[in-house]
């Protein structure tokens, strides 16, 4: 056989022996990702720094390797999900020569700048880097309830692997800036944390009054929050336009009075108001600035900090 043909067949053979995807990091989230990929029928190689986290995955068909080099060499697509970006670097840098020409999808939570810096590092090594942000908890992975955001300047690579990535959750490419998925993930988490904080306050108020809070949560609170969430795009339009008096649903003046009542009753119930106090302060500051007829969205002007070197609007 001609030596070029031999090389060609050797490459085909090697590619057939390769896995579809390698998952690096088998914490709670990494295990859920690997589990969903296996369930979808993919050939999955798994690796974790500490041994002993791959038991159920191996039973489901995963190839577990102890050598990091073997792990990254066994697939052209590598998903990494570890605690933070320093951990990502600790895993990838020792094998950086072995991942050249491969695709890295980093689903670890981090900051936009960390994502951009990883992307620059990868580009210098000829690695196709896609950053991702997971909006889900492990039990949701592999279902439509899991939303995963991706960004980076390799959109075609994302498209090529989209079918596989859909097996871990809805796959949404959000733009070429590698930091964008991270920024949107953090912003969405800010909204979730704020909402859950309010929910916990409401439950603390009601539990102190010996109410059946499970029933309260199911039959009143959840439907109420669902209904209110319909207005999220309305607030977004106001923030985008800078006009907080357009189609106002509820003005800041009465909202300030209502919030003061909630805080007073909370104190009567011996419930701390420390989650609500900063919101009252923001609302009252916006009113004092001359905007009592604004929608709640108007407080975003009070949240904007002046950036050094940025000209005033």
Residues at the interface with ligand NDP (CB under 6 A): 25-30, 48-50, 53, 81-84, 87, 90-91, 108-109, 134, 137-138
Residue 166 backbone class (left: φ over 0; alpha: ψ -120 to 50; beta: rest): alpha
What is the radius of gyration, based on Cα positions, of the chain?
Answer: 25
Nearest residue (CB) to ligand NDP, 111 versus 204:
111
270 touches 301 (CB < 8 A): no
Minimum CB–partner distance for residue 231 and ligand NDP (Å): 26
Nearest residue (CB) to ligand NDP, 83 versus 170:
83
Nearest residue (CB) to ligand NDP, 34 versus 276:
34
Which residue number has the CB closest to ligand NDP? Answer: 27
Residue 25 backbone class (left: φ over 0; alpha: ψ -120 to 50; beta: rest): left
Nearest residue (CB) to ligand NDP, 168 versus 259:
168
Minimum CB–partner distance for residue 109 and ligand NDP (Å): 3
Instruction: Give Cα separations from 130 to 53, 115, 117, 177 (angstroms).
Output: 26, 9, 12, 10
Distance CA 279, CA 260 (A): 10
Chain mean position to CA 290? 37
Nearest residue (CB) to ligand NDP, 23 versus 202:
23
CA dihedral 50, 53, 57, 61 (to 10 degrees): 40
Minimum CB–partner distance for residue 194 and ligand NDP (Å): 17
Minimum CB–partner distance for residue 50 and ligand NDP (Å): 3
Minimum CB–partner distance for residue 300 and ligand NDP (Å): 26
The SS3 call for residue 79 is strand
146 touches 124 (CB < 8 A): no
Chain mean position to CA 286? 31
Minimum CB–partner distance for residue 215 and ligand NDP (Å): 27
Distance CA 116, CA 247 (A): 39
Nearest residue (CB) to ligand NDP, 41 versus 94:
94
Bridge-partner residues for 172, per DSSP?
149
Minimum CB–partner distance for residue 178 and ligand NDP (Å): 16
Nearest residue (CB) to ligand NDP, 28 versus 265:
28
């Amino acid at each position: 056989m001609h030596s070029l043909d031999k090389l060609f067949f050797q490459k085909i053979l090697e590619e057939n022996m390769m896995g579809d995807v390698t998952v690096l990091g088998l914490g709670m989230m990494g295990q859920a990702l690997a589990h969903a990929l296996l369930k979808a029928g993919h050939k999955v190689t798994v690796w974790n720094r500490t041994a002993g986290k791959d038991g159920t995955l191996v039973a489901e068909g995963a190839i577990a390797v102890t050598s990091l080099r073997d792990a990254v060499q066994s697939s052209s697509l590598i998903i990494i999900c570890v605690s933070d970006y320093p951990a990502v670097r600790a895993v990838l840098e020792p094998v950086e020569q072995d991942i050249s020409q491969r695709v890295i999808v980093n689903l670890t939570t981090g900051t936009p700048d960390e994502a951009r810096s990883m992307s620059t590092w990868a580009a210098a090594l000829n690695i196709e880097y896609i950053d991702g942000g997971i909006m889900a908890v492990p039990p949701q992975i592999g279902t439509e309830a899991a939303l995963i955001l991706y960004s980076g300047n390799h959109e075609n690579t994302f498209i090529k692997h989209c079918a596989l990535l859909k097996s871990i959750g809805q796959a949404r490419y959000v733009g070429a800036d590698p930091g964008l998925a991270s920024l949107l993930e953090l912003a969405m988490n800010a909204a979730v944390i704020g909402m859950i904080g309010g929910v916990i306050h409401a439950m603390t108020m009601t539990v102190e009054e010996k109410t059946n809070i499970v029933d309260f949560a199911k039959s009143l609170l959840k439907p109420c929050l669902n209904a209110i969430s319909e207005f999220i795009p309305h607030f977004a339009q106001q923030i985008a336009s800078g006009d907080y008096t357009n189609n106002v649903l509820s003005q800041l003046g009465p909202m300030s009075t209502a919030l003061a009542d909630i805080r007073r009753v909370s104190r009567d119930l011996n419930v701390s108001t420390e989650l609500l106090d900063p919101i009252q302060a923001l609302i009252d500051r916006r009113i004092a600035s001359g905007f009592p007829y604004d929608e709640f969205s108007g407080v975003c002007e009070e949240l904007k900090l002046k950036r050094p070197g940025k000209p005033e609007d």
